[in-house]
Every structure is written in structure tokens, then in C-alpha cells.
Structure 1
Amino acid sequence: MQQRIVIFAGGNLGPWALGHIHSSDTLIGADSGAKFLMEHGRSPHIAIGDFDSVTEAEMVEIRAKSGNTIACDPIDKNYTDTEMAFRLALDMKPRQLLLLGVLGTRFDHSLANVHLLMLSHEQGVEAVIADEHNEIRLISKTTVLKRSDHPQVSLLPLSEKVTGITLTGFQYPLIEATLTIGMSLGISNVLLGDEGTIEVREGKLLVIRSRD
């Protein structure tokens, strides 16, 4: 089983993203995410996508420097480049998935990529989306959060309803609360100490940790 797979997609990326890479990680570059890795001295183990965001010369370099390149037709495909990379990564049975460059100026793509967390959750694979200011994960059971450099903690339902939410160790506690789509009750909480606990009885809850 893979220890961890890190996907680099074509959204917002920068030097901050390189700091997330561990030496044991398997790196997947989705479309221009593969280009980003190579521009910063990293060769993706797998490059995948329709590669409509790279030049012909860049494509030659991607094929030469990637461990494996999987290219598809930009028209005749059912998934975005990020979803193709995500599904490929899940097939590799990782312990954890980290998604970088999946948030950006295209809100439709960003939202679709957050929804991908449902796929990994259903397979019992921990997946985290990160950018320079946010970390996003999906939970459906009791979860302990440790203090980090992302002080703001927001909770948003990804299922229509999330019930039995109890927060311990937070500035704004909840006891057996219910969140439904459209509610902002769970926005902008903070930990009081070194850790806090989120209990969930039923439903799928997005936990978004942010820093300004």
C-alpha cells in the first residue's frame, strides 16, 4: 500500500506547495500540475490529463521526465483532469491523499474538487485539500483537531443534513447541533487549547481550517 499520494493540479500553486512534499510521497501531476513540478525540479511519478494547458514542447518534456504519462483526448472524456488523477490515486490504495492546486479562479472546478472528497471518504481513504491559506477535509465521525497554523475552523455540511454535532475545546461550543445546507452557524470557530474534538452522529461534514 502506498504511504501517501500527492496530486498537483492546475489551480493555484506556488513555492508553498513544494513544502508539502515528503521524500516517500508518490507525486501525480494533473495536466499543468505536472509542468509545475518539473519547473521546480520535481519529476512526477505519473502525469495524467488531456494536457490542453501545456505547449507541445512542454508535453515532450513531461513525457521524458515523468515516470509514466497517461494522456487522453480533451473532448472525449467524462472526468476533469483532477478527477482522473484522483480516481487513479484511489485505485492505488493509498493511506492518504493530499490535493494541491485544486482550488483556483474557476469556482466550478474548485467546488467539484471539494466534492471529490466524497469518493475517498466512501473508500475509507483520508484526503485533504490544501492551498496557501486553507486545509479542507471531510468527516463523518468523532475527530480530534490539534492546534496548527490554521487557527480558524469552519464546519459546513456536505450532505443535506449533519446531526449530533458536539464541539469540545472550541471558543463556540455546540451540543447535539444540526447543520443543514445553507446554514452558516459553523463558520469561524477557534480552538481554546492545544486540541478540540468534533463529534458527528450522522452525515458528512466539511472541516475547513484557514489562516488569513
Structure 2
Amino acid sequence: MMTGSAGQLKKTIHIVAGGPEPLIPDLSENKNENIVWIGVDRGVQTIMRAGLYPDLAVGDFDSISQEEWEKIEREVASLRRFKPEKDETDMELAIMWALEMNASTVKVFGGTGGRLDHFMANALMLAKFKQVHPDIHFEMIDVQNNLSVYLPGSYEIKQDRKKFVSFIPVFSDVSGVTLEGFKYPLNHHYVPVGSSLCISNELIQETGHFSFEKGILMMIRSKD
């Protein structure tokens, strides 16, 4: 694992929210990896059904029964239960805890599907945290999509089963966008917020590159 400047181990943290389970990849594939697991509300039960052990359960747990809560109390070492009337969402509280734990990578599962307000809030929240913590990789994953956030710079991307690649400006327009190795290349292009210019592109080489000079880009890799 990576080591931080203060000598603390950098952690890979997976956060599982209470989104529709059919959209959540098989979490048990990560069983033998050194990952810290956080369950958000009903996401705690999703983790346990995958044969994994949550390191933390966080949320108001207003959507579970008393019997389910008692099981969580028995099986999860660390609990943070909040009143439903609060300023932060359960997901935001989970990410804040992950940052306290010196995360290098934060991956969110169960944050898509179902309610659009939850999905939009989660996606924009990742962009907000990326602004403040540029060295942390933030990603939201379901069976059909991978969503990640990037600050200005140059990046490499490889082909995988999610063949469609979309780039979406977040919060403000993005300038200097260059795409190499793509079906629809760009060279130092200006992409305003709300533009569909960079939607549903595809890699035509095994490895491609993208770069930009100003703004925040959300990259979504998808499959039909």
C-alpha cells in the first residue's frame, strides 16, 4: 500500500450505499483484497450478504427494521448512527470518515439507480471532494457504469468491456480538452457545461490519452 507523508498507510476504501442491489457488482470478488468497507444505511446488509465484514456502519438507518439494526449492532465493530434530521447526507458522512482514515482511493457502490436526486447528489459530491483532495481517486461504480472525476492534467486510459467513454464538465466550462486514440479526437477544445460534444466516444486504440487545462471533468465509462 502507499504510505502518506505522516507515515500512515494510505487506504483503499469502498463505500456501499443502499441503492438497488441488481446494479451493484459482485462485491465478493474483493474478498481477498486489503480494503476498508463502509456500509451506508442498507448498504451494510449488502456488504454482509457478500460474505464481507463492514469496518464501519454509518447513517440514520431509518429504512431498516429494529431486528436488522440489532444484527448490525452485533456484527459491525464500529457504528455511527445519526438522527435523520441533519445537514449532511449519509453518503457525505461516510466519505468524510473515509478522508479521516487517510484514503488514497474512495470507491462508491450502490450510489446509482433508484432515486435521481440521490444519484445526482452523490456524483456532484465526488466532484466537490476531488477539488479539496486532488490526490485521492474518487469513483462511483455499478454493473453498467464507472464514474470518476479529474482535475486539469494529462491521463492515460485503456480499453475495457465498458466501451463508451463520456466526458462531462462539472460546475464550470472546461478548456484545452485533447483526446488521443479516440474515435472522435479533440485538440485543445473548449467544452461548455451542458455540451453533448464528448458524450459516447470510444477508444479505437488499446491505450488512449486525454488532457485538459482548466475546469473539472467527470468521466463515465459505460456499456449497453
TM-score tier by shorter-chain length is over 0.9
SS in structure 2 at match of 1:155: strand
The 1-side partners of 2:222 and 2:29 are apart by: 16
Please report how far the alpha carbon of residue 39 of structure 1 lies from its aligned counterpart in structure 2 after TM superposition. Answer: 2.6
2:116 pairs with 107, 113, 121, which one?
A: 107
Given the superposition, is the C-alpha separation of residues 84 and 17 from structure 1 closer, same or farther in structure 2, using an over 3 Å criterion? farther
- TM superposition shift of 1:36: 1.3
Structure 1 residue 182, shift from structure 2 partner: 1.3
Contact 1:134 1:210 in 2 (8 A): yes
Letter aligned with residue 17 of structure 2: A
Q: RMSD between aligned alpha carbons?
A: 1.3
Q: Name the count of aligned residue pairs.
A: 211
Alignment of 1:64-103 (within 5 A): 64-75=74-85, 77-103=86-112
Q: TM-score, normalised by structure 2?
A: 0.90
Asked if structure 1 preserves the Cα contact closer than 8 Å seen for 2:26 and 2:50, the reply is no
Q: Secondary structure at the match of 2:220?
A: strand
Unaligned runs of 5+ in 1: none
Alignment match, 1:147: 159
- Which of 168, 176, 197 is the equivalent residue of 1:185? 197
Partner letter of residue 160 of structure 1? Answer: S
The CA deviation at 1:178 is: 1.1
Corresponding residue for residue 137 of structure 1? 148
Distance 2:50 2:187 in 1: 47
> SS of 2:187's equivalent?
coil
Work out the CA distance in 2 between the residues paired with 1:86 and 1:179. Answer: 29
- Residue identity (%): 32
Seen in structure 2, the aligned counterparts of structure 1 residues 211 and 85 have a Cα distance that, compared at 3 Å, is same
CA distance in structure 2 between the aligned counterparts of 1:161 and 1:62, rounded to whole angstroms: 44
TM-score by length of 1: 0.95
In the TM superposition, what whole-angstrom CA distance separates every residue of 1:7-35 from its partner, at most 9, and x where no partner exists?
A: 00011334624155252000000000001
Q: Give, in whole Å, the separation in 1 of the partners of 2:157 and 2:166.
A: 12
* Superposed CA offset, 1:103-125 (max 9, x none): 12111110010011124312121
Per the alignment, residue 12 of structure 1 pairs with 20
